[in-house]
Structure formats: structure tokens, C-alpha cells
Amino acid sequence: MRGPLISGILKQFLEQVDWGPLDLMVVDMPPGTGDAQLSLVQTINLDGAVMVTTPQEVATGDVRRGVKMFERVNTRILGVVENMSGMACPHCDEIVDVFGSGGGESLAKEMKLPFLGRIPLDPAVRLAGDEGAPTVVSNPGSAAGAALLEVMSGVEERLSTS
């Protein structure tokens, strides 16, 4: 979907759905600096954006451009998260850096942004989501659950200092 179609869907999603009372709304956007992001910032005032990257250079380059786009439209960046940051081998528990390591933290330092944490690549996260029991609820003590809770804590902290 592009342009006016995305804009219309976002507007309907944000203005015509009765969400009831909310403490926080998270809108998961596709990567990049396209129509969806611009439509969102033109439709509502955001308290901030969390930039999510995978460790490899091509991904951090996209997120770098995203940070600059949000800065141009005066949207505060709450921090950077590195997703798919290592995976524990199911046979020996050795951590395998499938997509590299450290790209998110390096990007945060370069852009002078808070680094909110690393989320490991874990097939159990997908399974839990598919079953309607997110990892932070069904297995908060797992590496992924603890990492997600740490990121959320950092986001809450940044939002409280606005």
C-alpha cells in the first residue's frame, strides 16, 4: 500500500476506532521513511518514536535515515533497540550472532541517542505471539522476555521525562 491509501487507513485507525482509555499506544511501522511514517506524524502528535534495527549495517543505515526524518518533523526519538541480536543455539546454548552484533548500540552512540537494549532472536517469541500469549506475559524470565521488559522500562522512563 502506498500514499493516500495508507494515509486513509492510518487516519481511520487513529480517529475512528474507540480504543477506550489508554496509557500508551504503540504503532509498529514498516521500516523506512515512507508514506506510513509521514502520515502518522501528520495525523497525530507523537510523544516519541522508538527506532528498531537489526545489527547489520544495511539495517542501521535505514534506521539512521529514519531518525533524521523524524528529527526533521520535530518528533523526539526515545531511543534505539537492536532486534534479532544473537540467538542461543538450541543444541548447545552458544550464542550465534546471525545478523552480526552491536550495530544498534553503535548507531545510538553515533546519533547521540539512548540505547534501550538488545532483543535476542528467539523462535519462542513467535510461537508465544501466535498463541496469543506474548513472551513478556507467558515467559517474562526468558532472555527475550527480560530484554523486552527492559526495553519497555527504558521507553517508560524516557516518556516520563518529556
Average pLDDT of span 121-147:
93
Higher pLDDT, 36 or 129: 129
Whether the pLDDT of residue 25 is over 90: the answer is no
Q: How many Å apart are CA 65 and CA 95, to the nearest integer?
A: 30
Label residue 130 exposed, middle or buried (CB < 10 Å: 0-12, 13-18, 19+): exposed
Provide the pLDDT confidence category of residue 111 given band limits of 50, 70 and 90.
Answer: very high
The superfamily (CATH) of domain 45-160 is P-loop containing nucleotide triphosphate hydrolases (3.40.50.300)
Q: How many Å apart are CA 109 and CA 55, to the nearest integer?
A: 14
pTM for the predicted model, two decimal places: 0.88
pLDDT in tens, 38-89: 888 888 888 999 999 999 999 999 999 999 999 999 999 999 999 999 998 8
Residue owning grid cell 550465534: 96
Q: How many Å apart are CA 110 and CA 115, to the nearest integer?
A: 11
Strand 95-96 to 87-88 pairing: antiparallel
Helix (H, G, I), strand (E, B) or coil at 50: strand
Residue owning grid cell 539495517: 59
CB 115 within 8 A of CB 121: no
Average pLDDT of span 142-156:
95
Task: Put residue 115 in one of left, alpha, beta given phi > 0 → left and psi -120 to 50 → alpha.
Answer: beta
Percent of residues, the chain, with pLDDT higher than 70: 96
